[in-house]
Structure 1
Amino acid sequence: MNRPVETVWALLSDPERYRTWVPGTVESTGRLGQWPQVGSALAYRVGVGRLTLPGRTVVRVCEPPTRLELEAILGKAGSARIAIRLTRWGRDTLVIVDEHPLRGPAASLHIAPFEFVLHLRHRLLLARLASAVEEAPPAPEREHAASGGGEHG
């Protein structure tokens, strides 16, 4: 992403912006605790058009500004672990997303077609995250230097 780690983290830490980068999230319906503290949660609806389901995402690990691990829960459909790591990459940020089903029917779907769909979802999530992050104005040059950023890291 063409922004420093702190800018990417600020977006991930903003519960009001969650649906801008998470595919399928159509509306936020509530919040528990102080996002993204461990144990805090966001409630929302996921789906397409009139076909939506209630969902909830709980923060399981929070290590600002480089690591956020979430559990996305979709009722009887089960849940998934989503680990997001941010790494300084010169002035920019390398974002790595790792998602695995934890519970429910999806937990047994480690098969090629499911993995392909998950791969497409990650590409969409990263594209949406990059778009949302890059809408933020770039940090002044002196902030990059103070944060250890630079052309070669």
Structure 2
Amino acid sequence: MSLVVPYDGTWPIRADEEMQRLREAVEGLITVHHIGSTSAPGLPATPILDLLPVFSHDAAADASRAALEVLGYEWMGAFGLAGRRYCRRDDPETGDRQVHAHAYVQGHADIRRHLAFRDALRANVSLRAAYASVKGACAARHPEGGEAYGTCKSAWIAKTESRALERY
């Protein structure tokens, strides 16, 4: 399977279903957003949904671990980003990664950063095309994905996020 695949119109539907599962099972959630490449119409992506659960306070976010694990998520803690609670869920039958959940407490600056980037991609066809080009080049250089693929895209993303935040 290729690291980056063409846009799949089921991604928003699957994201909505997963966000509903979270809202029904996890206490203390204010909202859940669909972020990342799978949230931008027409954008090729690594076929893993990125979700952004937002909690009312730290205690609620920390207490969500048990409920998330019951839903099949692996709790990873901050996983390198202060203030984040990161979880991931794999398909139990295939082992394929399905969801990354980047949870934060309401008011954390990374919520705004993620939403500004997502909204900029959703609103601008040229920006999506540029990002698709970057993603394609990075996937060709780093077909194994992982950290090398992420690092390859990081300068472009940081520049784009900065511009998006100025307008958000």
Q: TM-score, normalised by structure 2?
A: 0.27
Of structures 1 and 2, the one with the larger relative CO (CA 8 A, separation 6+) is 1
Q: TM-score, normalised by structure 1?
A: 0.29
Q: Which one has the bigger helix percentage? A: 2
